[in-house]
Amino acid sequence: MTGLAILLLAAAIAFAVSKWMRLPVIPLLLLSGVALRSLADAGGVEVEPQLLKQMIELGLAVLVFTAGAELSPRRMLGRTKPILIVAISQFLFLGVAGVLTALALGYSLTTAFYLGCALSASSTLVVVRHLQTRRQMFEPFGRLVLGVLLLQDLFIIFIMVVLLKAPEGAVVSALAVLKALGLGFLAFGLHTWIVPRLTQRMKLDDEELMLGALSVLFGFSGMAYLLELPFLVGALFAGFTLSAFPINGLVRGMLGSLSGFFLALFFISVGAFLVLPDLEMIVHSLVFILILILITVVFVAFIAEAVGYSTRAAIETGILLSQTSEFSLLLALTGVASGQISTELFSMIALITVSTMTLTPFISRDRVAWSLMKLHPRYRKGEQGCETLSEHAVLLGYGRAGARLSQYFKARNLPMVVVDDDAAVIRNLIIKGIPCIQGNGSDRQTMEQAHCREARVVVCSMRRILDAEEVLNYMKGASAKVLVRTFEPEEAALVERFGGHPVLAAQAATTTFLEWMEANSEILGRRGE
C-alpha cells in the first residue's frame, strides 16, 4: 500500500507540474518512474520486475479499452478502400524500413524484426485523445486515421500472438491466431447485434453503465487468459464491443477520471522498468525517431492524397500517425519475457515510443501542416490571380458545393475566386479558367490575396468553426456579407454573434446553400448595384 501511495503522489506531482508549466504529462510521468526507481535503488529497496510488468499490463489494458471504444467500424463506411490502402502501406513500408535500419546499425535479425514491428503501427491512445481535444473525430481525415488505427491494432495483435506462441511451433501459433479471430468475431457480433439492442431497451444510470463496461473489459480479458492469448487482445476487443454510438461516448465519460489514473500507472511503471540506455542506444533511438517521423509524414501523405484526400488532409494524416504504438511496448515486453530481446532493447523501444508520443501534440499544429504544404511539388503552380477583382464572390473551400455555387454566381454575373488547400482542386479550377488560390482560407495573407474585404460576398464552407471565427474576425467592418456553413445551432449562434450569416445545414448540403441564398437574394444584390 505504501508503494501505491508513493506512486499516486508522484503522479499527482507530475500532473501538477504539467499543468503549471504547460508541458506534456507523458514524459513527466516517465521521469517520475525513473526517479522513483533510482531512489529505491539508492535506498536498497528491491523492486520486483514482475510487479512492474503487471502494473504496466493493467494500466495499458484500461487505456486500450477506452481508446478501443472509439474505433467503431461505422466510421469506415464509404472509406474502406482508402483505409485499407493507407493502413497496409504504412504498416509494411515502416516495418521494412525499421528492419533495414536496424540491420544497418548492426542488430541481429530477431532484434531488427522487433524494432520493425515496433515502428510499423501508430498510437491509438495518443491519436484518439488528440482528435477528441480538437473536435476532429468526424472530419474526413479523422475518420481515415481512426480506420487506419483500428486495422493496425489488429495487425499488431496477431503479430503479438504469433511471436508469443512461436517457440511452441507453427501449429500452436496458427491455433492461437484462430482463437484470436474467434474472439474478434464474438466482439463484432456483440457490437453489431447485442449491445445496440440492450442500450435501446435498458435505461442504464451512470453506476450501472460503468459496472457493465468494466464487466465487458474483465470478461474479454478473462476469455483471452483462458485462450492463452495476450491480455491486450481481450482489452481491445472489449473496447470494440462498446464502440457503437452513443454508448462509446457514455463509456468514455464514465471512465474519464479512471483512465487518467491508469495513464499515470502505466507510464510511471514503464519509467521504473527502464534501464538507462547508453550513449550508443540513445543515438540509435534518435535515428529511428527521425526515420519514423520523416517517412510517415511523407509516405502516408503521398498515399492519402493518391487515394483521394485533399493535400491538407493527407499531410495532417501523415503527421498524426507519426508515432509508435503503445502496443509496441507490450510487444517488447513479450520479447523480453521470451528471452528474444534484452531489457536494454525494451528501454530503447520505450524511449522511441514515449518520445514520438510526446512530439505528436507539437508537430500536429495547424501551422506545421501549412508549412509542409508549401513544400508540396504542386503548391500554387499555375494558380490564377485575382488582382483585378472587386465586388466579387469569394468561396473559401470548394468542396462538394463548389461547382453548383460557381454556376449560381455565374448566372448572376458575379465573378468568383476560390480558395482551397487541395492541389487537385486547384488544378481542375485552372483547367476551367476559374481564378483560384491554393492556401488556408482562414489565413489573413491568403484572404488579402483574394481581396475578401473588397468582395460582395464571402462564402465560408470550411468544416472547422475555428476557421470561420478567423474569417469573421478578419472581415469585421467590411461591407462584404459573410455566409458560413454551420452544423450545430451553437455554431450558428456563434457566427451571428461575430456578424456573419449562418447557413445551418447537413454536411455538403449544396441545395440548402442555394435555397438560402435564393431566399436572401437581397444580401447579394446584383452586379453593378
What confidence tens digit (pLDDT) does each residue in 492-506 have?
888 999 999 888 765
| pLDDT for the residue numbered 195 | 85
Phi first, then psi: give them for residue 449, nearest 5 degrees.
Answer: -65, -35
* Closest C-alpha among 88, 86, 87, 109 to residue 98: 109
Is the alpha carbon torsion for 463, 464, 470, 472 positive or negative? positive
- What is the rounded distance in angstroms from the CA atom of residue 192 to the CA atom of residue 197? 9
Q: With beta carbons less than 8 A apart as the criterion, state whether 149 and 202 touch.
A: no
Which region, left, alpha or beta, applies to residue 525 given φ > 0 means left and ψ of -120 to 50 means alpha? left
pTM of the model: 0.80
Spell out the domains of the chain, with CATH numbers in brackets: 2-373 (1.20.1530.20), 393-524 (3.40.50.720)
Torsion from C-alpha of 296, 301, 306, 310, nearest 10 degrees: 160
Q: With beta carbons less than 8 A apart as the criterion, state whether 124 and 146 touch.
A: no
| pLDDT for the residue numbered 206 | 67
Query: Which residues of the chain, if any, have pLDDT below 50?
Result: 507-509, 527-529
Angle in degrees, CA 83, 86, 88, rounded to 5: 100
Cell representation of residue 493: 449562434
Beta pairing class for 457-460 and 436-438: unpaired
Residues 6+ apart with CB under 8 A from 15: 25, 28, 260, 264
3-state secondary structure of 149: helix
3-state secondary structure of 265: helix
**DSSP character at residue 288:** H
Q: How far is CA 332 from CA 5, 287, 366, in A?
A: 28, 19, 33
| pLDDT for the residue numbered 245 | 64
Phi first, then psi: give them for residue 416, nearest 5 degrees.
Answer: -135, 145
- What is the rounded distance in angstroms from the CA atom of residue 306 to the CA atom of residue 299? 11
Residues 6+ apart with CB under 8 A from 173: 161, 162, 165, 166
Q: Report the Cα 362 to chain-centroid distance in Å.
A: 13
Within 10 Å of residue 182's Cβ, how many Cβ atoms? 12
- What is the rounded distance in angstroms from the CA atom of residue 136 to the CA atom of residue 139? 5
| pLDDT for the residue numbered 43 | 74
Q: How far is CA 91 from CA 151, 182, 303, 424, in A?
A: 10, 23, 12, 26
Q: With beta carbons less than 8 A apart as the criterion, state whether 80 and 145 touch.
A: no
| pLDDT for the residue numbered 466 | 81
**DSSP character at residue 135:** T
- What is the rounded distance in angstroms from the CA atom of residue 78 to the CA atom of residue 428? 24
| pLDDT for the residue numbered 85 | 94
Strand partners, 224: none
- What is the rounded distance in angstroms from the CA atom of residue 437 to the CA atom of residue 445? 11
